[in-house]
A and B are shown apart, each in its own frame.
Chain A
Amino acid sequence: MNKADLIRAEEKKTPKRTIDVVRAGLAKRYRAEGRFKLYGLGAIIISLLCLAILFISIVGKGYPAFQQTFIQLEVFFDPAVLGQENLSSANFPGLVKKTLRNMFPDVKGRSDKRALYQLVSTGAAFQLREMILKDPGLVGKTVSVWVPADDDVDMLMKGHFDRKMSESGGRLNNKQLAWIDELSRQGKIEKRFNTIFFTSGDSREPELAGIGGAASGTVLTLVVTLILSFPIGVAAAVYLEEFASKNRWTDLIEVNVNNLAAVPSIVFGLLGLGVFLNFFGLPRSAPLVGGLVLTLMTLPIIIIASRAALQSVPPSIREGALGVGASKMQMVMHHVLPLALPGMLTGTIIGMARALGETAPLLMIGMVAFIVDIPTGFTDPSTVLPVQIYLWADSPERAFVERTSAAIIVLLAFLIIMNAAAIILRKKFERRW
């Protein structure tokens, strides 16, 4: 009988002490402790990993869209073509085609010529037209112009197409590839910063599509939202916090505000469709209606934040004001409100950021239309940045995936700026009483 067995026999004889039971289980319990802590850390790491993957995948897909392939053309503004009365209706596409034929004189045959014309975006003709309309003195001169290349050429230059695929089902054929190689040998094709993406409206052609229209629609919509929701939200919060007596009615308002903050956004879209469009007959797709719907959505957020800001103003301020003879309204307007304003502004910025990213309710009120023109008024048909993202995400062209990601980058950049502003505002004006 060895020592261990002796101890075991001893243990069997004497009743177990609690401390022994605890000690025996201790290692296991510590292991469970370690595991539990690890699960927690793992959960956070998983969440942050998802965030990282999201950002990397979108930035990785989107950043090439800030560059666009341009082709240099030596355009001779032929007086024979442009000699008419009406310059704007002259045959500018013909001019582009002629220039291309001059660059590659040995291209014969209709299908080859058509393939050649496809290298350059249809927007090239519009670009030439604008040049001529701006400066009619160019007629009869030869000018070197950089025009946007077609999206397939763009994708090739950015390395999204496999060159070997081209003969079998690719979007560019071997001849086109040879021409592109020739152009790049001559230095007549290059990637430049993509200003079109920021200035132009939507288009069916990826190389001409931009977020300019959507961005201006977003600005108009948010202006309506801000003008309406900030004063109304602050007023409602001031009433509920400073004036309302505690009764059924104010309880009802409170319950409503809290509920509305959690109602799905698409329901607000149904409200907009039913009330603003069908009942009041406001125009479809208009930033005005979008702003109204988003106002109703952001109001609860602003009211809740503003009430918290008012609550954090200490009662002594109120009592001091009342003590020197201010009326209740003067006390609120002159003393409490200015002190609570930074907190209210922070809440408003966060509400605006939410409104900026909102898509679903705007789909309901018709802001999904394909709109080329850049809206300038509150009743012009328009779309907003998130809806533009949704529309582009549905497009089959490879180039639109890139544009969508780039639009998302722009949207996220705006959101980060707004949230950073809110944080800075809070840090700067935060006051401990």
Chain B
Amino acid sequence: MSPTTLFAALLMLSAAAFYFGRQRAFAIAGKAGGTRHLHSRPTYYGLLTALWCGIPALLIFVLWLGFEDKIITNLVIADLPNAIRHLPENRLNLVVNDIKNLVTGNIVAAEVDATMQAGAAHYRSLQATSNAALAVVALSLGIVGAVGVRSRISRTLRARNLVEQVIKYILIACSCIAILTTIGIVLSVLYEALRFFKAIPITDFLFGLKWSPQMAIRADQVGSSGAFGAIPVFLGTLLISAIAMAVAVPVGLMSAIYLAEYANRRFRDVAKPLLEILAGIPTVVYGFFAAITVAPFIRNSGSVLGLEVSSESALAAGLVMGIMIIPFVSSLSDDVINAVPQALRDGAYSLGATRSEAIKQVVLPAALPGIVGSVLLAVSRAIGETMIVVMAAGLAANLTLNPFKTVTTVTVQIVTLLVGDQEFDSPKTLAAFALGLVLFIVTLFLNVIALKVVRKYREQYE
């Protein structure tokens, strides 16, 4: 039985269990003289039966599928001839991959020989056994659960309370997924990053001035460990983010001020959704726009002015990223400015301030913490933005602050290091996780501060 059909079978079994549980409750109630003599409504008895039928079986199902592949792979490896088993780990992985490809019917990289055929056959038979065993275990568990609950159904069984208890646990489990996600991120990134720092000292990574991970593949290369200095990458990220913020903060802030203080209702109703559209456009579209339209435009206008502009200049990526961030700054600042109490404005007007003076000298200082928070959030978004820079910024890690030159960013490096062949034993691939760790920590730091500032500011005027 394939996992999909088993899943469907389990669902159908639960539905049947619901029906039987409910019927049982009706039968008992009939003898006692009507459903009002039951502790709970009959539906709850049905639900209880269904839950006890479905949940244990589904848990087994998920866990089994989660670990099935690992166990089968290890069994297959254990059965391979000694000559293959004692290969170095990465060669062994290649063989295992080929066997798996053989099993799924994909194209196999190496020549298919008898041992691999045998391995694949072994894999297939183990998988069939495992699937059959899973089907037996899960279905019988479901039936046992359903029958067990059904036999315990009585007038006094507190079915509703039990069902509600189970549902509450499900709700708690769902809300804990957020925490699990964070833990998952930290563990997965940290684990590989620590392996990277075993090969490359952390100080070399954080303070080194030369970044060229591609060249470090060759073991005989002089100073191959020195090629993982991430300063040029960090500096490139900062440069592009700074250009983006130089576009987004003034434009976004002035838009927010105009929308909040000057615009009439009709203008606001039209302009605000249009600005939000900018936030809804996928970043890959911005990337395409930057690479195909903006970058050539900047290069051409640069050559007219006699400037030498690279075709993958930091300016193009930064400008387009700035456009993308405008709505973040403007909508957050708009909320913040609207939250400033009208009394403050009225006070300023009564002292004879013009509108702009009231805004500049009263409203903005009052809203400053919130604006700073929204700018920090925007900075975090700029640092973590990927597609625009992947498509419009370059790969060369130049240590420069010249916006017309090519620079690279943390996210670009992560993508280039991880797309394509991955070898989880070379610092080249692991470096991506180290960069990911830095990215996660920095953005986390910015987000926590920004959220705290914004929250504190909101409380101030509430």
Contacts and interface: CB of A to CB of B under 8 A. Distances in A.
Interface of B is mostly: helix
A96 interface: no
B184 A271 contact: yes
B19 interface: no
Interface stretch (B204-212, B254-262, B300-308): B254-262
Interface string A261-274: 01111111111011
Nearest to A272: B188
A260 B258 contact: no
Given A236-B177, A271-B188, A360-B387, A419 B280 contact: yes
A305 interface: no
B271 interface: yes
A43 B326 CA distance: 10
Nearest to B416: A363
Report which residue of A42, A239, A368 has the largest number of chain B beta carbons within 10 angstroms of its beta carbon. A239
B346 interface: no
A126 interface: no
B357 to A, nearest CB: 7
A79 to B, nearest CB: 35
B171 A44 contact: no
Given A47-B255, A270-B433, A57 B282 contact: no
Given A40-B255, A359-B282, A411-B285, A50 B323 contact: yes
B215 interface: no
Contacts of A53: 293
B339 to A, nearest CB: 16
A236 B384 contact: no
Interface string B238-251: 00000000000011
Interface in B347-400: 352, 354-357, 359-360, 377, 380-381, 383-387, 390-391
Interface stretch (B22-30, B147-155, B441-449): B441-449
A299 B177 contact: yes
Nearest to B286: A54
A300 B282 contact: no
Report which residue of A37, A235, A262, A328 has the largest number of chain B beta carbons within 10 angstroms of its beta carbon. A262
B287 interface: yes
Contacts of A193: none
Interface string B330-358: 10000000000000000000001011110
A271 B281 contact: no
B356 A281 contact: no
A243 interface: yes
Nearest to A295: B177
B174 interface: yes
Given A263-B444, A271-B184, A393-B391, A22 B436 contact: no
B249 to A, nearest CB: 11
A243 B171 contact: yes
Nearest to A359: B284
B298 interface: no
Contacts of A263: 185, 384, 440, 443-444, 447
B106 to A, nearest CB: 8
Contacts of B259: 44
Contact of B285 (A29, A58, A268): A58
A103 interface: no
Interface string B68-108: 01100100000000000000000000000000000000000
Nearest to B384: A264
A61 B175 CA distance: 45
A104 interface: no
B178 A236 contact: yes
Contact of B251 (A46, A236, A253, A273): A46
Contacts of B293: 53, 57
Interface string A29-41: 1101100110111
A270 B185 contact: yes
Contacts, number: 265
A43 B255 contact: yes
A341 interface: no
A41 B275 CA distance: 13
A30 B258 contact: no
Contacts of A300: 178
A359 B192 contact: no
A161 interface: no
Given A33-B355, A275-B184, A47 B172 contact: no
B314 interface: no
A327 B164 contact: yes
A165 interface: no
A360 B415 contact: yes
Given A267-B439, A329-B168, A386-B284, A41 B258 contact: yes
A266 B384 contact: yes
A281 B451 CA distance: 36
A353 B282 CA distance: 9
Given A259-B182, A273-B418, A253 B288 contact: no
B385 A386 contact: no
Contacts of A386: 282, 284, 387
A290 B302 CA distance: 41
Given A42-B254, A43-B250, A303-B178, A259 B447 contact: yes
A244 B175 CA distance: 10
Interface in A292-331: 296, 299-300, 303, 327-329
Nearest to B171: A239
Contacts of A363: 415, 418-419
Contacts of A238: 171
Contacts of B181: 256, 260, 271, 296, 299
Interface in B10-65: none
Contacts of A223: none
Interface string B414-456: 1100110000100000001100100110011001101100000
A401 to B, nearest CB: 7
A256 B179 contact: yes
B288 A393 contact: yes
Contacts of A91: none
B188 A264 contact: no
B175 A259 contact: no
A357 interface: yes
Nearest to A239: B171
A366 to B, nearest CB: 8
A330 to B, nearest CB: 8
A412 interface: yes
A415 B174 contact: no
A103 to B, nearest CB: 37
B288 to A, nearest CB: 5
Given A33-B356, A389-B284, A47 B275 contact: yes
A420 B310 CA distance: 40
Given A239-B174, A357-B282, 4 more contacts: A47-B330, A267-B436, A274-B191, A275-B187
14 contacts: A40-B254, A239-B175, A258-B451, A270-B188, A270-B436, A271-B181, A274-B191, A274-B192, A278-B188, A328-B164, A329-B164, A329-B167, A356-B282, A360-B390
Interface of B: 66, 69-70, 73, 160, 164, 167-168, 170-172, 174-179, 181-182, 184-185, 187-189, 191-192, 250-255, 257-259, 261-262, 271, 274-275, 277-278, 280-289, 291-293, 323, 326-327, 330, 352, 354-357, 359-360, 377, 380-381, 383-387, 390-391, 411, 414-415, 418-419, 424, 432-433, 436, 439-440, 443-444, 447-448, 450-451
Query: Which A-B residue pairs are the 3 nearest by beta carbons?
Result: A264-B384, A274-B188, A40-B258
